[in-house]
Amino acid sequence: MALLEPTSGEHIRLAHGGGGELMTRLIREHLLPPLHNPSLAALTDGAVLSWRSSTLVFTTDSYVVSPLEFPGGDIGRLAVAGTVNDLAVMGAEPVALSLGLILEEGLPLEVLDRIVRSLADTAREAGVSVVTGDTKVIERRSALALVSRPEHATGPVADGLFINTAGVGTLRPGTQLDARRVQPGDVLLINGTLADHGLTIMAQRHGLGFETDLRSDAAPLNHLLADIFETGADIKFLRDATRGGLAGVLADLSETAGVSLRIDERRIPVTATARHAAEMLGLDVLTVANEGKVVIVLAEREADTVTQALRRHPLGRHAAIIGRVTPDQPPLVELDTRAGGRRLVQRPYGEDLPRIC
């Protein structure tokens, strides 16, 4: 029984999830201080928020990334940035997040503390509060699992920690984001370099030497997107290119809008390090996950204004127009390659990169 074990004091125990004294202490000493706000501190079953808007946006995402910490971020930063970005690309201003923690027995408390601090820092960066939460503890996975784990499971054996963040936001008045408004002649923008997050995680798992230059792009994009809304441009479509990468977003857009998309490899921002890493790992930068990149579609006449607005923000310095919507039928996504050829871009079938976010 957990109750009879010597007190370790440094690691998560099953008893931390029991709704008892130990859990109360975990919450009071390790969770509330970094996240402090009155709503959360009340430790009631939910948060009460007063509300200015009559239109609410509500979203959720779970995070299972492995490893938990990586250059440029960790699962905590991801859990805030990902959910804030889901709200922001719906045209909402994020207001509040919930935090659901599933902790694995044996997780070092100092790792939990670092991750919760990072999560709190990212929430401050985005201007949102974590207003309600829940904590569960599950048994430790056996170290023996290493023996028979599948070949693709290259991450650490211990999961340590899963996070769910749900988010609520207020819809920005006047926004008309709708893929069906996208039409031939519109242009496609991206706010910076592709594939940094996914390649960073893969490089970490494989212990590759070039990893020192790779950094995840995980970042909350709500302020960047607020800047482009403030230009007054009529933004028709916004989507963050996470799992499935740019290719996944474009496949969805093409299907939903019934239009063809043509992008130009020479205009797609990719760092030399990322290009090299993708080649070594046999990955296509178009299908690799990003955690701080957004695809923007709007009329061509407004593209320069919005590109300039993006470039004035640190998270949009490398913004570029990467392609356009064409009248070709049936709806397809095509890439003009650097080598002068042309190829189809398709949604990946399954998962090249398990546990990437």
Interface residues for its own copies in 177-236 (CB under 8 A)? none
Determine the Cα–Cα distance for residues 318 and 296; give it in Å rounded to an integer: 14
Q: Between 165 and 273, whose beta carbon lies closer to its own copies? A: 165
The count of chain residues that interact with its own copies, using the rule CB under 8 A, is: 95
Strand-pairing partners, residue 97, are: 130, 167
Site string for its own copies, 238-257 (x = CB under 8 A): -xx-xxx---x---------
Tokens of 67: 């490893």
Q: Taking CB under 8 A as the criterion, which residues in 275-294 touch its own copies?
A: 289
Q: Which is nearer to its own copies, 167 or 303 (CB)?
A: 167
Using CB under 8 A, pick the residue from 80, 115, 168, 182 that binds its own copies: 168
Residue 10 makes contact with its own copies by CB under 8 A: no
> What stretches of 200-270 adopt beta strand conformation (E)?
235-240, 260-264
What mask of x and - would describe binding to its own copies in positions 311 to 350, judged by CB under 8 A? ------------------------------------xxxx
Among positions 89-148, residues that touch its own copies (CB under 8 A) are 89-90, 92, 96, 98-102, 105, 131-134, 136-148
Report cis status (omega within 30 of 0) of the bond before 348: no
In whole angstroms, the minimum distance from the beta carbon of 169 to its own copies comes to 8
Provide the minimum distance between the beta carbon of 124 and its own copies in the complex, in angstroms, as a whole number. 19
Contacts of 261 (CB under 8 A, 6+ apart): 188, 250, 253, 254, 323, 324, 325, 326, 332, 333, 334
In the block, residue with structure tokens 């995840």: 216
* Closer Cβ to its own copies, 15 or 318, answer by number: 15
Binder among 49, 109, 226, 280 for its own copies (CB under 8 A): 49
List 164, 200, 271, 307, residue binding its own copies (CB under 8 A) = 164
Terminal alpha carbon distance of the chain: 34
d(CA 153, CA 148): 10
Q: Which stretch binds its own copies (CB under 8 A): 29-37, 61-69, 211-219, 225-233?
A: 61-69
User: Of 81 and 168, which has the nearer Cβ to its own copies?
Assistant: 168
Determine the Cα–Cα distance for residues 336 and 323; give it in Å rounded to an integer: 9
- Provide the CB-side half-sphere exposure for 176 (13 A, CA): 9
Tell the smallest beta-carbon distance from residue 122 to its own copies (Å): 18
Q: How far is CA 221 from CA 73, 270, 310, 340, in A?
A: 15, 19, 11, 33
Torsion 130-136-142-145 (CA) sign: negative
Min dist CB 339 to its own copies, Å, is 26
Work out how close the CB of 2 gets to its own copies at its nearest, in angstroms, rounded to a whole number: 6
Do residues 49 and 128 touch, judged by C-beta distance below 8 A? no
Which C-beta is closer to its own copies: that of 115 or that of 303? 115
